[in-house]
Chains A and B, each alone.
Chain A
Amino acid sequence: MQKTDELLFKSIQEGDLDAFENLFNKYYSVLCIYAHSLLADMESARDITQDVFLTIYENKSSVAIKSSVKAYFYRAVHNACLNYLKTTNVHAKHHLQIASQNLISDNHDLMVRAELEAQIFEEIQKLPPQCRNIFQMNRFEGRKNKDIAAELGISVRTVETQISKALKILRQNLAHLIPTILLLTSAA
Chain B
Amino acid sequence: MMSNSVNPHIDQELLVRYLSEETTTSENEAVRRWLSADERNKAEYDQLKMLWEASGKVKEAVSVNIKGDWKKVKSRIDNNQRIRSLPSAKEKRGILTHLIRVAAVVTLLVTVYLGWPVFSDWGPVEMITVTVISDTSTVVLSDGSRVVLNRNSRLVYPVEFKGNVRTVTLEGEAFFEVVEDPSKPFLIKTGEAITEVVGTSFTVNAGIKNKVLVTVLTGEVLLYPNANQEHKLSIVPGEQGQLKNGSELTKTQNEDINFLSWKSGILVFRSTPIDQVVQDLNTYYDLSIKVGSSALKSCMLTATFERQSFEDVLAELQLVLPIQIQSNEGNIILTGVGCK
Residues of A within 8 A of B (CB): 17, 21, 24-25, 28-29, 32-33, 36, 42-44, 46, 50, 53-54, 57-58, 87-88, 90-91, 116-118, 120-121, 124, 135-136, 138-141, 144-146, 157, 160-161, 163-164, 167-168, 170-171, 174, 178, 181-182, 184-185
Contacts and interface: CB of A to CB of B under 8 A. Distances in A.
Contacts of A58: 77, 80
A167 B61 contact: no
A140 B54 CA distance: 11
A38 B77 CA distance: 26
A117 B73 CA distance: 24
Contact of A170 (B17, B55, B66, B76): B55
A42 B64 CA distance: 8
For the complex of A and B, the 5 pairs showing the least CB-CB separation, nearest first, are: A140-B59, A160-B13, A164-B12, A121-B61, A121-B58
B60 A42 contact: yes
A171 B76 CA distance: 41
B63 A167 contact: no
B114 interface: no
B73 A54 contact: yes
A76 B70 CA distance: 18
B59 to A, nearest CB: 4
Question: Chain B: interface residue count, which band?
Answer: 35 or more
Contacts of A181: 50-51, 54
Contact of B340 (A17, A88, A120, A170): A88
Contact of B64 (A17, A33, A87, A174): A33
A178 B54 CA distance: 11
B48 interface: yes
Interface string B56-85: 111111111010011011101100100000
Contacts of B17: 145, 160
A25 B60 contact: no
A88 to B, nearest CB: 6
Contacts of B55: 120, 124, 135, 139, 170
B66 A28 contact: yes
B20 interface: yes
Contacts of A160: 12-13, 16-17, 20
A141 B12 CA distance: 22
Contacts of B80: 58
B122 interface: no
A46 B46 CA distance: 33
23 contacts: A21-B70, A21-B74, A24-B73, A29-B61, A29-B66, A32-B64, A50-B69, A50-B76, A54-B77, A57-B73, A91-B340, A117-B61, A136-B59, A139-B55, A139-B59, A163-B16, A163-B20, A167-B52, A171-B48, A181-B51, A181-B54, A182-B50, A185-B54
Nearest to A88: B340
Nearest to B21: A144
B297 to A, nearest CB: 13
Given A116-B54, A167-B51, A185-B50, A46 B64 contact: yes
Given A57-B73, A181-B50, 5 more contacts: A121-B61, A145-B17, A167-B51, A171-B48, A182-B50
B54 A28 contact: no
B15 interface: yes
A117 to B, nearest CB: 5
B272 to A, nearest CB: 13
A24 B340 CA distance: 26
Contacts of B15: 164
B53 A167 contact: no
B187 to A, nearest CB: 44
A148 B333 CA distance: 48
Which of B54, B58, B74 neighbours the largest number of chain A CB atoms within 10 Å of its CB? B54
A180 B194 CA distance: 75
A138 B74 CA distance: 35
B22 A144 contact: yes
Interface string B30-49: 00000000000000001110
A1 B48 CA distance: 31
B271 interface: yes
A139 B52 contact: yes
Given A24-B70, A54-B77, A167-B51, A157 B64 contact: no
